[in-house]
Amino acid sequence: MKFAPNANAFTIPVRVYYEDTDAGGVVYYANYLKFFERCRTEWMRSAGHDQRQLALDAGIGFVARKASCDYLRPAHLDDQLTVGLEVEKLTRVRVVFRQHVRRGDEELVTGTVEIACVDMASMKPAPIPDFLYAKLETLK
């Protein structure tokens, strides 16, 4: 699952805090999914959309449908990481993000997360609004 992000990839810096680690000072494996989520949320903000506001205005939300990770190398307490994303696949209702965590040029974790757009009232699949779909296409 190793990949090199394309020029359209979005990234954020993440510092590893004590709360992110296990007893050995290594990032606990499930926390990488939190880093991935944080990156997706910050991308949404940078695209001009707040998830809470989308729920209120458009009546939609995004839910994780599937996730997988390859853990290549550990991150440790106080490491400065880069967490990134790009779009691997986009449909009218779902988006599959390729995500990664790096320390400098060293790739630590890669993964994919499939997100589905849902109607917040019924929690049934709903189309991704055109204004957001167009922005997601730029991450391909």
Each residue's pLDDT tens digit, 40-68: 999 999 999 989 999 999 999 999 999 99
Confidence of residue 132 (pLDDT cuts 50, 70, 90): very high
C-alpha 68 chain-centroid distance: 12
**Which residues, including other chains, have CB under 8 Å from residue 16's CB and lie 6 or more apart?**
27, 75, 76, 77, 78, 79, 80, 81
Active site residue 22: yes
Q: Which residues are bridge partners to 95 per DSSP?
A: 90, 115
pTM of the complete model:
0.92
The active-site residue, picked from 22, 50, 57, 70, is: 22
- CA 77 vs CA 19, 20, 26: distances in Å: 9, 8, 6
